[in-house]
Chain A
Amino acid sequence: MYNGKHPFLHDLYKNRTKWLMLLPAAVVVILMCYIPMAGIVLAFKEYNYHDGIFGSPWTGFENFQYFFKSGKAWLTTRNTILYNLAFLCVNTFLQITCAIMLSELAGKMFKRITQSVMFLPYFISWVVVGAFIYNLFNYEFGAVNTFLKGAGLELVDVYSNKKMWPFILIAVSAFKNVGYGTVMYLASIVNIDGEMYEAADLDGATMWQKIRYITLPCIRPTVVILFLLAIGTIMKGDFQMFWQVTGNNPMVLEVTDVIDTYVTRSLLTLQEFGMTSAAGLYQSGVSFVLVLIANYIVKKVEPDYALF
């Protein structure tokens, strides 16, 4: 095989089409992810506008202190991880369920319309969703309380009730994301070889048995890969969602504050760029470790599906 040329250059020539296809993605990642990474130094600097990021004086680990001092490090880390786990489980479950249901549906027209309607919320901005929530739950004029008032029931005060927010957040996350994931799972279900179903029909398998023994095992690789990719972002709270939907409400922060919202809030009120980058760096560090751990576990259990 090896014919004396440099192996990499040879590969570059031989698979030039594939390399060319990789190029745009690589350019984007380098521009958007690797180059800005130099900004990490900000976490170790006492930033001022005049000297800029690289000229400002070094401070060592000073900037990391406040995050732990304010007692918020543990709380926000916990919230971020738990919310993302909940979103991951609930959304994946709903997405697979919807995908299977859609694939079992007969009417093509109906299927298409349902699929589009489910997909639609994905395009609604979080700002708008936040406005929905506010107009639903506003104590004095909100839709829910207006209805309860009309029905002669007791009013609910959602904005000061900590217990409700995890459910609200999980619900809006599902509202926005289920349609999107459903389409991905639907695509992998459509790719399953039709002959398997025909054979099952001949053997007299019921619909449930077909789902249990053909559909689910066949989409397992997709599930595992999507799950692994999601683990990488488990330390990243969906900033827009937490910020807009809760309206940055201090009453329920204990259950809604994630690292991203905390960092943004402190940046806006303190203008200490170094300190907030320190918190961001902490977040990335933990993310990185989590990805390594998740990948290690997958490698042990299912070596074929591991990312690296």
Chain B
Amino acid sequence: MFSKKKKIMSLLLVLVVLMTGLCACGSKEGNTGETAQTANKEADSPAKEQEETQPAQAEEAEAETEAAGPDISQEVTLVMYLIGDRPVDNDEVFAKINERLKAEINATIEVKFMSWSEYEQKYPLIFASGEDWDIIYTADWCFYNAQAAKQGFYEITQEALETYAPMTAETMYPEAWEQAKVNDKVYMLPMNYKEITAYVYMARGDLMDKYGITSVASLDEAESYMDAIVQNEPSLIPIDVGSDYDKLFLYDRMFKKANWESPEKVIGIGPWQVMASVSEVDDEVKVMGTYDYPAFKETIVRLKDWKDRGFWSKNAVVNTQNNTESFQAGKSALAMMNANTAKSVYASVSAEHPEWDIRVFDAQDGVPPVLNSYLANGMSIFSKSKNPERALMALDYLRNDEEVNSLFCYGIEGKHWEASGDGALVSLPDSANYAYDSNCNWGVRNDAYWRVIEGGIPNLPELNKVWQETARSERYQTFVFNDESVKNEIAALGEIFDTDYKLLGLGFTDDPEADIAKLREKMEAAGAQKVYDEIQKQGLEFLAAQ
């Protein structure tokens, strides 16, 4: 009797153990998918489970595409990834956009954002995560070549363009279409817009007046301003650089200035991780490590001086907040950004802190701004999108339909902006919640519907005028390097770029000369010369083809 009872008890116990085990097991399984998507900490398993199931679906999607004529009987929701922080009124704006898209192509768009501080890490991961999404912002500086080479994007053929995006097919600048080609295939719809990238400083007017600084329009003037801050405002960091986004901002300004003033006009070439530079006036395309130019050392010495004087945090290398965010939060006294970002930052900071009296200055310091290639902004479709043809149709409307395009670029008319004559607009107070041209809408900018902003930064028209007169394209701007034969070297060099180069670029060195020598030694050991030779070879071909 007793033993029987015991037996039943033990069996029950086993059952309980088994149940808990299975439950734990089940929930663990569910979690794995999610963790693989977001964290990917196990290096050798980036979403391997999900990947296996995907090709079949992708093929199905392709089969659908081949069916003739746009079939829009089925309603779809397209997921679109943009870079930046979600504007407060984003949902309201997209509700209007979706209203129209629903009527025209029976599709709606759901927008997801990845912030500037993490996009470098997150961008490549969403391709491998197995997540279901359709459209993404891309650019030559934002993984276009890398992801296209790994077949991350859906190929946009001329036929597909004509079938699904007739408006785009008609209005696309032919040279933009040519630039977008990677191995003769196009994976991006580049913006229909001619853009200049110029950098500006944004400074606190109240502090400038307090310390008798009249202008912060050059490196020297920025130096005096930051010096005044360091001496008198212990609670402020002069400029809070160091995040992924702005770790090399000051380095870039200094190095570019030094080179623009030199007769060689040295510029970067090839993938940025390999630190290759070439003189623009040299038809031999002699490629050297950037660190081998005398200007590099001068720059590092000055950066070290600035760092030692406390112009940025001693913890700058572990910063996760970028200098603009710090400036907005009142932690720093100076920020540097491109003129485009400045427009929206200016609007929101002036509204929140009118007492700061912020002022914007030209940070180009005599260096002509870059006339961007069309690839500086664009939109692509995910290669595993379930509805690539509908995504293309949606992009067609975002780019070419005046109503949708204006909604995306400037917000709701009458709420965020109102028209001011032809080709201009005035921002309304609500634009703090959906600012002019700063919602990652850059990929669909269209010269045909473009409106310049009136008001905003008072001296911007004046700066724009100067920039437009001097802007130029760099000689190797449209040069696309094929890294097939030197992948391993680039991987090894990338690691050095990420650690040693970043440190030098923020002035973290006790002995610039010795550390530059150390950098050179590591670069050579990792096979830099082989990469430079390859760049030279392809560079010569590039020049010959022109």
Selected A-B contacts with CB under 8 Å, 9 pairs: A20-B14, A24-B21, A28-B21, A39-B48, A47-B150, A160-B314, A273-B46, A275-B491, A280-B43
A251 to B508, Cβ gap below 8 A?
yes
Q: How far is the CA of A281 from the CA of B48 in the complex (A)?
A: 15
Which residues of chain B have a CB within 8 Å of any CB of chain A?
A: 10-11, 14, 17-18, 21-22, 24-25, 28-29, 32, 40-46, 48-49, 51-52, 54-55, 58, 120-121, 124-125, 127-128, 143, 146-147, 149-152, 237, 273, 313-315, 317-318, 320, 383-384, 487-492, 494-496, 498-500, 502-503, 508, 522, 525-527
Residues from chain B with a CB closer than 8 A to the CB of A265 are 495, 498
**Nearest CB of B to A234, in Å:** 17
> A268 and B315 in contact (CB under 8 A), knowing A250-B503, A275-B491?
no
Q: How far is the CA of A52 from the CA of B492 in the complex (A)?
A: 24
Q: Which of A51, A71, A276 contacts B43 (CB 8 A)?
A: A276
Is chain B's binding surface mostly helix, strand, loop or mixed? helix
**Nearest CB of B to A41, in Å:** 9
**Nearest CB of B to A266, in Å:** 6
Which residues of chain A have a CB within 8 Å of any CB of chain B?
A: 17, 20-21, 23-25, 27-28, 31-32, 36, 38-40, 42-43, 47-55, 62-63, 65-66, 69-72, 134, 138-140, 157, 159-160, 239-240, 247-251, 253, 260, 262-273, 275-277, 279-281, 284
> A24 and B318 in contact (CB under 8 A), knowing A36-B49, A271-B146, A273-B128?
no
B48 to A53, Cβ gap below 8 A?
yes
Q: Which of B44, B150, B152 contacts A281 (CB 8 A)?
A: B44
Q: How far is the CA of A263 from the CA of B44 in the complex (A)?
A: 9
Residues from chain A with a CB closer than 8 A to the CB of B151 are 48-51
Q: Which of A28, A43, A53 contacts B28 (CB 8 A)?
A: A28
Residues from chain A with a CB closer than 8 A to the CB of B11 are 17
Q: How far is the CA of A43 from the CA of B22 in the complex (A)?
A: 32
B522 to A71, Cβ gap below 8 A?
yes
**Nearest CB of A to B439, in Å:** 26
**Nearest CB of B to A99, in Å:** 27
A17 to B318, Cβ gap below 8 A?
no
B494 to A49, Cβ gap below 8 A?
no
Q: How far is the CA of A5 from the CA of B487 in the complex (A)?
A: 60
Q: How far is the CA of A51 from the CA of B52 in the complex (A)?
A: 9
A272 to B487, Cβ gap below 8 A?
yes
Q: Which of A40, A72, A249 contacts B318 (CB 8 A)?
A: A249
Q: How far is the CA of A49 from the CA of B51 in the complex (A)?
A: 8
B318 to A140, Cβ gap below 8 A?
no
Q: How far is the CA of A140 from the CA of B152 in the complex (A)?
A: 43
B494 to A240, Cβ gap below 8 A?
no
Q: How far is the CA of A38 from the CA of B48 in the complex (A)?
A: 9
Q: Which of B32, B315, B487 contacts A138 (CB 8 A)?
A: B315
B314 to A270, Cβ gap below 8 A?
no
Closest to A62 in B: B488
**A51-B55, A66-B492 are known contacts; what are 6 more A-B pairs with Cβ within 8 Å?**
A21-B18, A51-B151, A66-B488, A71-B492, A279-B43, A280-B42
Q: How far is the CA of A25 from the CA of B46 in the complex (A)?
A: 24
Q: How far is the CA of A268 from the CA of B152 in the complex (A)?
A: 16
Q: How far is the CA of A221 from the CA of B498 in the complex (A)?
A: 46
Q: Which of A17, A43, A52 contacts B51 (CB 8 A)?
A: A52
For the complex of A and B, list the 8 residue pairs with the smallest distance between their C-beta atoms, beginning with the closest: A24-B21, A280-B44, A263-B43, A247-B318, A50-B151, A70-B492, A139-B314, A39-B48
Residues from chain A with a CB closer than 8 A to the CB of B32 are 32
B318 to A159, Cβ gap below 8 A?
yes
B54 to A139, Cβ gap below 8 A?
no
Residues from chain B with a CB closer than 8 A to the CB of A138 are 315
**Nearest CB of B to A79, in Å:** 14
Residues from chain A with a CB closer than 8 A to the CB of B314 are 139-140, 157, 159-160
Q: How far is the CA of A42 from the CA of B48 in the complex (A)?
A: 9
Closest to A23 in B: B18
A28 to B25, Cβ gap below 8 A?
yes
A251 to B503, Cβ gap below 8 A?
yes
Residues from chain B with a CB closer than 8 A to the CB of A263 are 43-44
**Nearest CB of A to B8, in Å:** 12
Interface centre among B54, B55, B273, B492 (most CB of A within 10 A): B492
Residues from chain A with a CB closer than 8 A to the CB of B149 are 48
Q: How far is the CA of A79 from the CA of B11 in the complex (A)?
A: 48
Residues from chain B with a CB closer than 8 A to the CB of A251 are 317, 503, 508
B41 to A264, Cβ gap below 8 A?
yes
> A264 and B29 in contact (CB under 8 A), knowing A24-B21, A69-B488?
no
Residues from chain B with a CB closer than 8 A to the CB of A69 are 488-489, 491-492, 525-527
Closest to B151 in A: A50
Closest to A273 in B: B46
A277 to B55, Cβ gap below 8 A?
no
Residues from chain B with a CB closer than 8 A to the CB of A40 are 44
Residues from chain A with a CB closer than 8 A to the CB of B488 are 62-63, 65-66, 69, 275
Residues from chain B with a CB closer than 8 A to the CB of A25 are 21
A39 to B44, Cβ gap below 8 A?
yes
Interface centre among B41, B44, B146 (most CB of A within 10 A): B44
Residues from chain A with a CB closer than 8 A to the CB of B150 are 47-49, 271
Residues from chain A with a CB closer than 8 A to the CB of B143 are 271
Residues from chain A with a CB closer than 8 A to the CB of B120 are 268-269
> A250 and B498 in contact (CB under 8 A), knowing A40-B44, A70-B526?
yes
A266 to B54, Cβ gap below 8 A?
no
B21 to A140, Cβ gap below 8 A?
no
> A52 and B54 in contact (CB under 8 A), knowing A17-B11, A160-B314?
yes
